Chain A
């Protein structure tokens, strides 16, 4: 898991958009990944950081880590879940 955290497959910055586009952009980015691969998301404090981890859990993905960046934004690492049957 540590290696996945250090080398995510892709990165996405959603600090420029608001709900619901935040989740939409994440879903689009995850579409490009295979199950098990990790996406690193840069997101804002507040609603995005409070609610998006739960939305991703409900979508079947696995949140690995949430950590603060020096500039006040956050980095969320999420591993893509299995494709729905």
Chain B
């Protein structure tokens, strides 16, 4: 019987140059693996591979040199240890994330929680072409949000309170956008220049600056054969429900308008940014 390589690829078995050998892609969310799962992966790589793994460019793990004859057995071995296989092809892929606010001092949002939510909702969903989601915790952008078809970047909606301020001047230098001026009497904040990095909040010695966590969502990033950064179409979204509504809109737009072999970016440019923007706006309007 002929081998259905496409079906194997869709299920994470990436065909190698070597005949009847596959690099098996595993499911990883937000670059996080328990040591327990790592041990299972380690055992599987020893038993069915050549004793090593490959760390992918999207925080995934692949076990190379798995033989065609072992495809079924390695899957059940991994499943028993709580390790799921990944996906490839025209569908929503691994959701990536930096460490986020639970670990990183710079983080403005809980990136792993959002990555897990995205993964639960979208992972493996069939679409006209591959679809990548990534979540980064702040403007430092370690996770490169705009490379993704749908990228999310954490930020703060900042506010200043005169009562707590000592006019020390730290925030004016911490701000990289020149949005803050401190005089002898007060603080001037040009909200239009703010990029929501939250450096004023994080550096303020008195708590006069406070920040509400929010998300900047970018659409249509692509970083393969064609390179274009995703575009932010809405202001900072401070509700998780709004982020999910915006993401739903993106995937629905792609599913409805996308053509086979066309990346989300191509669909947006062919159908029109304003059409996507309108749909996102409508969904945000009804998410409140």
- A, B: real partners: yes
Would you call B105 an interface residue if the criterion is a C-beta within 8 Å of the partner chain's C-beta atoms?
yes
Residue from the list B169, B176, B202, B204 in contact with A65, Cβ < 8 A: B169
B105, B166, B173, B204 — which one has the most chain A CB atoms within 10 A of its CB?
A: B173
CB-based contact A53/B176 at 8 Å: no
CB-based contact B166/A53 at 8 Å: no
A50 and B199 CA atoms in complex are apart in Å by: 9
CB-based contact B176/A50 at 8 Å: yes
Number of B residues near A (Cβ < 8 Å) is 13
Q: Which residue of A lies closest to B182 (CB)?
A: A66
Would you call B279 an interface residue if the criterion is a C-beta within 8 Å of the partner chain's C-beta atoms?
no
CB-based contact A57/B105 at 8 Å: no
A residues less than 8 Å from B176 (CB atoms) = 50
Q: Closest Cβ of chain B: how far from A35's Cβ, in Å?
A: 16
0 or 1 for each of B172-201: is its CB under 8 Å from A? (1 = yes):
011010000000000000000000000100
Contact of A66 with B168 at beta-carbon distance under 8 Å, contacts A49-B173, A50-B174, A58-B105 already known: yes
Would you call B81 an interface residue if the criterion is a C-beta within 8 Å of the partner chain's C-beta atoms?
no
A49 and B174 CA atoms in complex are apart in Å by: 8
A residues less than 8 Å from B228 (CB atoms) = none
A64 and B204 CA atoms in complex are apart in Å by: 10
A6 and B203 CA atoms in complex are apart in Å by: 23
Q: Which of B198-237 contact A (CB under 8 A)?
A: 199, 202-205
Number of A residues near B (Cβ < 8 Å) is 15
CB-based contact A62/B205 at 8 Å: yes
A residues less than 8 Å from B204 (CB atoms) = 57
B residues less than 8 Å from A54 (CB atoms) = 170, 174, 199, 202-203
A54 and B166 CA atoms in complex are apart in Å by: 15
Sample of 24 A–B contacts (CB below 8 Å): A1-B166, A49-B173, A50-B174, A50-B176, A50-B199, A53-B174, A53-B203, A53-B205, A54-B170, A54-B174, A57-B203, A58-B105, A62-B205, A63-B168, A63-B205, A64-B166, A64-B205, A65-B166, A65-B168, A66-B168, A66-B169, A66-B170, A66-B173, A67-B169
Known: A65-B168, A65-B169, A66-B168; 14 extra A-B contacts, CB below 8 A, are A1-B166, A53-B170, A53-B173, A53-B203, A53-B205, A54-B174, A54-B202, A57-B202, A62-B205, A63-B168, A63-B170, A64-B168, A66-B169, A67-B169
Which B residues lie at the A interface, using CB under 8 A?
105, 166, 168-170, 173-174, 176, 199, 202-205
Closest 5 CB pairs of A and B: A54-B203, A63-B205, A66-B169, A53-B170, A49-B173
